[in-house]
Amino acid sequence: MRETLMLANNWKFKAVEEKDWLPAVVPGCVHTDLLKNGVIKDPFYATNEHDLQWIDKIDWEYESTFDVPRSLLSASSIELVFDGLDTYADVSVNGVHVLSADNMFRTWRADVKAYVKEQGNSLHIVFRSPVREDLPKIDALGYNLPASNDQSELGGLGDNKISIFARKAPYHYGWDWGPRFVTSGIWREARLEAWSESVITDLFVEQNEVTAAEARLTLHVEIESERDWNGTLSLNADGLTWDSQVAVKVGKNNVSVPVVIPNPKLWWSRGLGEAYLYSFKAELLAGERAVAGKTVRTGLRSIKLVREKDAVGASFYFELNGVPVFAKGANHIPNDSFITDITEDRYRHEIASAAESNMNMLRIWGGGIYEQSIFYELCDEYGILVWQDFMFACSMYPGDEAFLANVKAEAEQNVKRLRNHPSIVLWCGNNEIDSAWAQYDETGGWGWKKDYTAEQREKIWADYEAIFHRILPEAVESYAPGIDYWPSSPLVSVSGDINQHAHPLTTEGDVHYWGVWHAVEPFENYNLKIGRFMSEYGFQSFPEYDTVMTFATEQDLALDSKIMRAHQKNGDGNRLIKQYMDIYMNEPKDFPSFLYMSQVLQAEAMKMAIEAHRRKMPYCMGTLYWQMNDCWPVASWAGIDYYGKWKAMQYYAKHSFEDTILSFDRPEDGRLDVHLVTDKLDALSGTLNVALYDFSGVRLREDSASIALQGNSAAVVYSLNESEWLGGRKASSVVLHVEFVPGVGGESAISKQFYFASAKELQLESPSITVKEVAGSAGAAYELTTDNLAKQVWLKAEQAGRFTDNFFDLMPGVPKVVQFVNREVGEALSKPAAPGAIAVSSMIDYLAENQVEVV
């Protein structure tokens, strides 16, 4: 059997030209080791990022000593294994060079049987500066390649964009939400692996055909052996066993065994059923003795991307176990600029937050990393579908033989590593490159093509096609059969003409809509510019005051201060937030109020977008906003800030992503339509209660109707004439309250408010909000009541955790019960807890005086 020795201890590091060694942590990186040793200040504080750009321009070395147990030393094969070396590294064992690495996304192995001894082994690694390594490649190529988000100027490199040469996380070079920290280090596990006789190196569960009646699978077992021998290959899962006799040859062996599981428990995404996981175990037996073994966990499901021509274009949706799934979720970026600082519990917080926000999909964006295994394991457990990008984004890449071979090995390794995860439902070649370059549209794209000669353009596009139309799809087809590949997001289709490139009104493929935000289009355009699958769109906000104060002081609290600008990586970001706030909101009374209102502004924008997309099902079958999370404390598009705090948007998304929602649409003819949308597969029926209230809670008009809706669909279930319902009253002084009460099945009622006037026009009066502990809740649940309408009520707790709802509207006469929850380390679910002191506020508390407009 395989024996493993972890190499996580006794590490030290230093700059190559220095003499003194410092203690190091593995896995880790130079930046975090320098910080732990007090050599540098907190990289995230103030403008410290700007002062740390020297780190990536020198070479660093790491060294460790280790002993090898006799049982391991006596094995026939001993390999040194690095799951991640970042990035240009030369490795020696006991003074002998054993490998050189040039790709942080690959696993690196070296046979060290001849070099290791029982005691006093030395392991030495030199990490060459990524900057010094790659700068000469620009001269060799003869021109810069486009890399819009590479913050080369901040890095002291002028216009030299070197990120495209390194197979390294693109966001390390800066992005429009993240800092530039070009790291080096041992970023994943380092170990010795030893075995004798034979070892099972891989077990792949290929899902040929999966239905509720039976799962037809092929179990592919990869075996390496030091000699020829005959024995038994025993395979089992959930009490089922399949044994076969095998003749193992010296070297590499591949054995494929077809199996059938009758009446399988299917794996479902969140909201559709249980995310059931099987454990498959393979063992090689010599008689009764186990020679080698391997276990993998997977879920049985059928999955396909459905792209079928229809009357208006072509569909784009995922079909899981025969059911069309409306994808609800967000784009995921790495949770930290320093990947090894991300704990398992931080991953669990993100994935549990996604599930608790009623999401069923996350897109792993192509400018980060192929995530740690725990990320996918959690998605498997929580039923979160994964759209997986390869790690290419917003850049054109070289196409020399060595680079393409490196990409090929990277793709094959990562597809093989991740292919048993049922959560992964799509591999996507890259982020936004097809639309940015726009090969077939001379005036389209991001303006890149104009900087190159015709000959250069031909070469750049040929290199693009080599990677994204040949190497990557071949890797997916060969190593993850049955999973679809999509060359670039967004894309219409691979047509080889101008119709290939996506735009906001395309009726095929997926869409990134950035008219709201970058082009300063009104929020209302979210209702108009809807594609078949909205894989990116977003709006920024600031984190809350407490988070801002982790990188700033009171003197820095101004939009144009040096530090606030340093923590806003989108050049126009602060101006755009202010510009949109002037359009849609009243003036905040101070900077902390501005922070609060920026979150409400973002939340309202995303609510409008998400619900517009959901109302358009089945035409639109996916909505993934930008972005789920942050990699440092910053103003960004995230719904959850760097410290895991839910912004207003995350609470709004939780409601807009509920399996069944009410939503409002306002056609141009003075009509208000009430939509009912459900992702549940069963039909709905019940009563819709519609009532008009003034802001003190007086009911002014009401109506009710019996309604019905098919499962997994959306429809208008009620319409009203606005002027008739207002009856001469000011639109700015009333609110419509709509409630759907299901008739059968024990489902809870759902409700929603609609305002006939914009937020800045509402005639709000100061509410008196009462917060009362719910008896028997052990201090975890509270009932809120108010005498006047309270908009965007924000509850803050003394203790760490969050409330089950926040930034909600509280209506007079409609009590609201919320619970405080937290998640202990390692816990899967949030649990009720006591919040300590509670502070409660609402929108009117953050407005400058005389900012409520009287209509």
- Say whether 432 is catalytic: yes
d(Cα 763, Cα 758) in Å, to the nearest integer? 10
Q: What is the CATH number of domain 197-298?
A: 2.60.40.10
User: Does the structure show a pLDDT above 90 at 21?
Assistant: yes
Q: Which residues of 142-164 are buried (b: 16+ CB within 10 A; e: fewer)?
A: eebbbbebbbbebbebeebbbbb
Digit-coded pLDDT (tens) for 421-471: 999 999 999 999 999 999 999 999 999 999 999 999 999 999 999 999 999
Site of tokens 């790495």: 334
Digit-coded pLDDT (tens) for 198-236: 999 999 999 999 999 999 999 999 999 999 999 999 999
Q: Which helix (H) or strand (E) holds 345?
A: helix 344-356
Contact 365, 332 (CB under 8 A): yes
pLDDT at residue 669, rounded to an integer: 86
Phi, psi of 165 (to 5 degrees): -85, -25
Which of the listed CATH numbers 2.60.40.10, 3.40.50.10860, 2.60.40.1180, 3.10.150.10 matches domain 763-855?
A: 2.60.40.10
User: Does the structure show a pLDDT above 60 at 747?
Assistant: yes
The confidence band for 823, taking pLDDT boundaries of 50, 70 and 90, is confident
Contact 493, 509 (CB under 8 A): yes
Q: How many CB atoms lie within 10 A of CB 202?
A: 17
d(Cα 362, Cα 386) in Å, to the nearest integer? 5
The confidence band for 853, taking pLDDT boundaries of 50, 70 and 90, is very low
User: Does the structure show a pLDDT above 80 at 830?
Assistant: no
User: Does the structure show a pLDDT above 60 at 756?
Assistant: yes
pLDDT at residue 746, rounded to an integer: 66
Contact 784, 810 (CB under 8 A): yes
pLDDT at residue 288, rounded to an integer: 87
User: Does the structure show a pLDDT above 80 at 826?
Assistant: no
* C-alpha 359: how far from chain center: 11
Site of tokens 């290959």: 233
User: Does the structure show a pLDDT above 90 at 544?
Assistant: yes
Rounded mean pLDDT of 600-618?
Answer: 98
Identified catalytic residue from 356, 371, 410, 432: 432
763-855 has the same fold as 324-654: no
Digit-coded pLDDT (tens) for 477-501: 999 999 999 999 999 999 999 999 9
pLDDT at residue 852, rounded to an integer: 44
* C-alpha 125: how far from chain center: 32
Residue 143 to residues 88, 147, 396, 411, 456: CA-CA distances in angstroms? 23, 12, 12, 27, 9
Which residue, 731, 747, 643, is CA-closest to 692?
731
Contact 696, 787 (CB under 8 A): yes
Identify the architecture of domain 324-654 in CATH: Alpha-Beta Barrel (3.20)
Digit-coded pLDDT (tens) for 334-381: 999 999 999 999 999 999 999 999 999 999 999 999 999 999 999 999
Mean pLDDT of the chain, nearest integer = 96
Which CATH superfamily does the domain covering 659-757 fall into? Immunoglobulins (2.60.40.10)
Rounded mean pLDDT of 609-619?
Answer: 98
Which residue, 789, 783, 819, is CA-closest to 801?
819
Digit-coded pLDDT (tens) for 115-149: 999 999 999 999 999 999 999 999 999 999 999 99
Identify the architecture of domain 3-192 in CATH: Sandwich (2.60)
Q: Which 3 state secondary structure label does DSSP give 557?
A: coil
d(Cα 241, Cα 336) in Å, to the nearest integer? 43
d(Cα 128, Cα 104) in Å, to the nearest integer? 13
Amino acid (1-letter code) at residue 255: V
Rounded mean pLDDT of 104-123?
Answer: 97
Contact 162, 138 (CB under 8 A): yes
Domain extents in the chain: 3-192, 197-298, 324-654, 659-757, 763-855
pLDDT at residue 851, rounded to an integer: 52
Phi, psi of 492 (to 5 degrees): -85, -60
Question: Is the link from the previous residue into 87 a cis peptide, with omega within 30 of 0?
Answer: yes
228 burial via Cβ count (<10 Å: 0-12, 13-18, 19+): exposed
Digit-coded pLDDT (tens) for 768-801: 999 999 999 999 999 999 999 999 999 999 999 9
Q: Which 3 state secondary structure label does DSSP give 217?
A: strand
Which residue, 810, 723, 730, is CA-closest to 763?
730
* C-alpha 772: how far from chain center: 37
The confidence band for 855, taking pLDDT boundaries of 50, 70 and 90, is very low
Q: Give the global pTM.
A: 0.96
User: Does the structure show a pLDDT above 50 at 420?
Assistant: yes
d(Cα 208, Cα 257) in Å, to the nearest integer? 12
Phi, psi of 649 (to 5 degrees): -60, -35
